[in-house]
Each structure stands twice: as structure tokens, then as C-alpha cells.
Structure 1
Amino acid sequence: MRLHLITVGEPKLAYARAGWDEYEKRLRRYHKLQVSRVSGKTQALESEAVRRAAGRAPLILLDPRGPQFTSEGLAAFLEARALGGDGELAFAVGGPDGHTDELRAGASALWSLGQLTLPHDLAMVVLVEALYRASTITAGEPYHRG
């Protein structure tokens, strides 16, 4: 499956950049990966840039209004989408103000990383690590021991 990771900006803190780079590299062993970094001066422009970057791919927005997944649940979600014919999924981390109502309304799904508010840089790292962990679960590899 092809995964398209869309972020508003890129990790700026050294720990986040290192974490993103590490898990992006690992994730590429399981999926064709595309990364898009978008920007905009307003929430509306950021959301429009995310929508354009996603193109025709089903868009999954990281948003606190969405359901949470266990690691196994995320693996099952990805597998179901692949078996359902989705050859590509786009995942988007919004800017500091999140996504617009219009972008949420047009999204294929919402996904909440939890009830905690995470710094933008950390949310990006959690996204890519969670996708990697789900991929190792699907592959039956020992990374996930929960």
C-alpha cells in the first residue's frame, strides 16, 4: 500500500526530526511512502494545501474528534482499507489550529492520537511510529510486544 504523509510544516526540534527520520526509514520497508510538507498563512490555507496534496487518495485526518486506535486496531484498519481496494491512503497532521470544518467534512476518516494535546512536532513522530508499529503487527514481526 502507498502511504502519503502530509504535515503542515516539518519537525523543527532535533529530537522530533531524528524520530521522524528513523521511523520514516523503517516504514519504507513496508509501504511506498510519500511525504508532503505544506504551509499556509491561515488555517483555511493550510487545510486547502492538505486537500490539494492528498489528491484523490482517501484522506485520514489526525483530529481529536476521531476515534482512537490500539496498535492492533490500527493494523486492522490499514489491512481492511488495503483489502477494500484503497491502494493509497493520505494521513494529515494539521497546523497549530488543526483542520477546518470543511476539510474534516470531506475526509475519509478522522483519527485521534488521544485526549492529550501533543506538540506539533511530537504528533508527527507519533503518527509515523504508530504506522510503523501497525505495519510490523501485520507482518507478524516482533517489534510490537503488547
Structure 2
Amino acid sequence: MRLHLITVGEPKLAYARAGWDEYEKRLRRYHKVQVTRVSGKTQAAESEAVARAAGKAPMILLDPRGQQFTSEQLAQYLDTQALGGHGELALAIGGPDGHTEPLRQQAHHLWSLSRLTLPHDLAMLVMTEALYRAATISAGEPYHRG
């Protein structure tokens, strides 16, 4: 399956950039990965850029209102999407103010990483690690030992 990772901005802190790069590289062993960095001067402009980047792919927005998954549940969700004929999923992290309500309404799914508020850089890192972990679970590999 193709995973299109869309972020408003990019990781700025060294630890987050290194982590993103590492887990993106690892994730590419299991999925075709496309990364798109968007920007905008307002929350509305950012959300419009996310929607344009996603195109016709089902959008999964990272949002505090969304569903939380265990690693196993995320693996199952992604497997179900792939089996359901979705050849591509667009996963999007918004800017500091999150996504607009119209974009949320267009989303295929809302995914919450945590009930905690995470800094933007950390959220990007956690998302890529979670996707990698889910891929290894689906592949039956021993990375996940939970």
C-alpha cells in the first residue's frame, strides 16, 4: 500500500528530524511512501493545502478528537484499508492550530496519537514510528514485543 504522509512544515529539532528520517526509511521496506510538506499563512490555507496534497486518497487526519489505537489495532486498521481496495492512504498532521472543521468532515478517519498534547515535531516522529511498528506487526516480525 502507498502511504502519503502530509505534514504542515517539517521537523525542526535535530532529534525529531533524525527520528523521522530513520522511521521513514524503515517504513519504506513495507510500503511505498510519499512525503509532502505543505504550508499556509492561516489554518484554512494549511487545510486547503492538505486537501490538495491528498487528492482523491482517503485522508486520515491526526486529530485529538480522533480514535486512539493500540499498535495491534493500528496494524489491523491499515490491513483492513488495504484489503478494502485502498491502494493509497493520505495521513496528515496539521499545523499548530490543527485541522479546520471542513477538512475534518472530509476525512476518511480521525486518528489521535494520545490524549496528551504533543509538540509538532514529536507528533511527526510518533506517527512514523507507529506506522513502522504496525507494518512489522502485519509482517509478523519481532520489532513489537508488547
TM-score, length basis structure 2: 1.00
Corresponding position of 1:6: 6
Q: Deviations over 1:72-119 (max 9, x none)?
A: 000000000000000000000000000000000000000001110000
Correspondence 1:88-103 to 2 at 5 A: 88-103=88-103
Corresponding position of 1:74: 74
Correspondence 1:13-24 to 2 at 5 A: 13-24=13-24
Q: Deviations over 1:40-78 (max 9, x none)?
A: 000000000000000000000000101100000000000
**d(CA) in 1 for partners of 2:88 and 2:37?**
18
Corresponding position of 1:65: 65
Q: 1:37 Cα shift?
A: 0.1
**d(CA) in 2 for partners of 1:115 and 1:121?**
16
1:131 and 2:131 aligned: yes
Gaps of 5+ in 2: none
Where 1:62 maps in the other structure, the secondary structure is strand
Corresponding position of 2:36: 36
1:120 corresponds to which letter in structure 2?
A: H
> Which aligned segments of 4 or more residues in structure 1 are displaced greater than 3 angstroms?
none
Q: Percent identity?
A: 80
2:2 corresponds to which letter in structure 1?
A: R
**d(CA) in 2 for partners of 1:5 and 1:98?**
16
Corresponding position of 1:27: 27
Q: Deviations over 1:5-42 (max 9, x none)?
A: 00000000000000000000000000000000000000
Aligned residues: 146
**d(CA) in 2 for partners of 1:47 and 1:129?**
24
Q: 1:131 Cα shift?
A: 0.2
Where 1:66 maps in the other structure, the secondary structure is strand
**d(CA) in 2 for partners of 1:115 and 1:139?**
28
